[in-house]
Structure 1
């Protein structure tokens, strides 16, 4: 019982000491001179150097510092790390975290992410915001969904269509051969060659001279025609939608895409991105493998504009969203002042999904008492929405250079018609190759010609001339209807008559009938005159 009483007394004493210390903090800070560390990370924090070498802090972080200064009445000087790192470096003065950890500054006025490696070295303030790191890349000329004639279907669909075209012809041959063996009748099996040309002809919506009589073969033909009709309908509708209403998509949407598609990317040296990627306990640690291959690099520049030439060359930049928005907006305004056309001002684009998210705050030394004093002020500022306002106040309310520029005019480019050119080139090349093959086979390779016994010709009503042969599946030849031995005889002595202003020849038939044949009109060429 006595022990419990002593513990309660001890706790009361500690609580009173904390309250006393907290009440005395304003007096402790009042009139003091603080050293405040920061680093260049526009628009959240940056430093301007005056002519006499004085450092002046700017950005959202120092607006908060000014609020604290007015409330607690202190003065301060700005200290920056030598290498503009968040963490790392050989010397303690190289990074901002090292300055705070070694008590070289009283606190860091910068939006630093709360990651494990930072938390172990410094004490963080109340959460000021959630930092979002995005991926910025050069705007591609065409959508990742495809372009031109191949856009309506993805690669898997095209491969399946190719398999269907190549395999359906042999399937027709196989099934017709199987049917002819099981059900012997007059219909013969269809060979591979005509089957292939039927499939190809139907694919490009052409007719065929094959006339199947068996129900099985007719169902096979009808099935392929229905497949082509539906495929053409889907393709035409999707192509129209793509050329008019398609949504622009990027090849990079998630951090995993950087690794899968082996994209080069870059981030600030000594930043949170470097330590998160190299930390085995983080979800995106798989990207550390790209560092060894040189596909991922960490570089530090004093000005963010120095990253733009790298992005222009195809490198993906990983940086805070506020910094990327400020960089893209400044680049847009610069091009507008230079007179660049509206359609060419949005050179860069941001991936739709975040690279990572981390809460951020100010940093203090481990033994500092300032968080007890400043966090209550930060809490009121955050609840009032002042920080969110300050981060976006110099940026437009609309999204800067969005993924879809919503251009009203959609003119076809060469990239849209590239497949058309490729089809023409491949077709001409194939024709030339086949021509060369035919010349070689027919001129230089002797082929034995075996006489084939002619099948009995089916006689029709057009068989007046026994020397004329034709295929039953095609229309009868013209000579079998109107030839030199036709029904009507036209000679040089045939009489001419003008009827209704048009000249006609009077032709007589063997049975005494007469017929008027037009002269000097296109229809006159349908008739042959005996010499």
Structure 2
């Protein structure tokens, strides 16, 4: 008798079966349930940049507002230092509104009259142009490509947590490997499988458990 198929070569099988030369080598994969991304759809607008970047942007808007106010206040062309009718003394809120409007690519009626204040505001405009261009490019990538955060990326991560239970098909070479392995990670995964009490005989059973429960199916 002989059999043709994708049969894995293991030590116990080699005792009673004469295998041909291996025609393909394959690694072990872990199948987990696809993460649910529906809950964070409304916050996808802010995913174009990291939270630290958003925090720095808010701090920059506040900081540049005070810089424009101080530069314009100490300028000889500001209202306290000039008697001309064109002189203008901007308040802090007006400077903040001008900086925020520039960040959102909108205009503002409050603009510094002094050359020094306009130079500072001009540098801020250049910064906002680069920032908006970067945000637009990143936002296009976020809306085009969906990146899932995998719950399990390696056997070490599977062994270091307790929520997701490992699944191994009965009689497979992976079951033999985990059962007889002396490595600490493999042994821990085997004990996790025993403690879960989940037994799968076919791939269909394993995939159904992956869809309905917090499990990870190890297969080759």
Q: How far 1:233 moved relative to its partner?
A: 2.5
2:45 paired with 1:149: yes
Q: How does 1:412-423 map to 2 (within 5 A)?
A: none
Structure with greater proportional helix content = 2
TM-score if structure 1 supplies the norm length? 0.30
Find the counterpart in structure 2 of residue 215 from structure 1: 115
**Partner residue of 2:64 out of 168, 178, 195:** 168
What is the CA-CA distance between 1:141 and the residue it aligns to?
Answer: 5.3
Q: State whether structure 2 residue 26 is matched by structure 1 residue 131.
A: yes
Contact 1:61/1:109, CA 8 A, preserved across alignment: no
Note the residue ranges of structure 2 that are not aligned, 5 or more in a row: none
Residues 474-525 of structure 1: CA deviation (Å, up to 9, x unaligned): xxxxxxxxxxxxxxxxxxxxxxxxxxxxxxxxxxxxxxxxxxxxxxxxxxxx
CA distance in 1, matches of 2:161, 2:57: 26
2:148 corresponds to which residue? 250
Q: Structure 1 residues 261 and 106 mapped into 2: Cα distance closer, same or farther (>3 Å)?
A: closer
- Alignment deviations for residues 263-300 of structure 1 (CA, whole Å, 9 cap, x no partner): 62413274435666x714xxxx39949x78x9x95743
2:177 maps to 1:272: yes
* Superposed CA offset, 1:167-207 (max 9, x none): 33233334445x359x9833676433222222222222332
Q: What is the CA–CA distance in structure 1 between the aligned matches of 2:120 and 2:108, rounded to whole Å?
A: 14
Alignment partner, residue 236 of structure 1: 136
Question: Partner of 1:72 in structure 2?
Answer: none
CA contact (8 A) 2:75 2:114 kept: no
* Deviation sequence 1:327-381 (CA, Å, 0-9, x none): xxxxxxxxxxxxxxxxxxxxxxxxxxxxxxxxxxxxxxxxxxxxxxxxxxxxxxx
CA RMSD of aligned residues (A): 4.6
Q: CA deviation at 1:251?
A: 1.2
Mapping 1:28-43, distance limit 5 Å: none
What's 1:305 paired with? 204
| Compared CA separation, residues 249 and 298, structure 1 to 2 (3 A) | farther
* Aligned mate of 2:126, from 214, 226, 233: 226
In 2, the alpha carbon distance for the partners of 1:308 and 1:197 equals: 56
Give the number of equivalent residue pairs.
201
Matches within 5 A, 1:52-451: 59-61=5-7, 100=12, 107-109=15-17, 129-140=24-35, 142=37, 148-177=44-73, 179-180=74-75, 185-186=81-82, 190-243=90-143, 246-252=144-150, 254-255=153-154, 264-268=164-168, 270-273=175-178, 279-280=183-184, 285=185, 288=188, 299-313=198-212, 315-321=214-220
Q: Which has the higher contact order (CA 8 A, sep 6+)?
A: 2
Offset at 1:158?
3.0
Distance 1:108 1:271, change over 3 A: same
- Structure 1 unpaired stretches of 5+: 1-33, 35-55, 65-85, 87-96, 112-124, 322-531
The separation in 1 between residues aligned to 2:16 and 2:33, in whole angstroms, is 34
Deviation at 1:315, TM superposition (A): 3.1
TM-score normalised by L of structure 2? 0.63
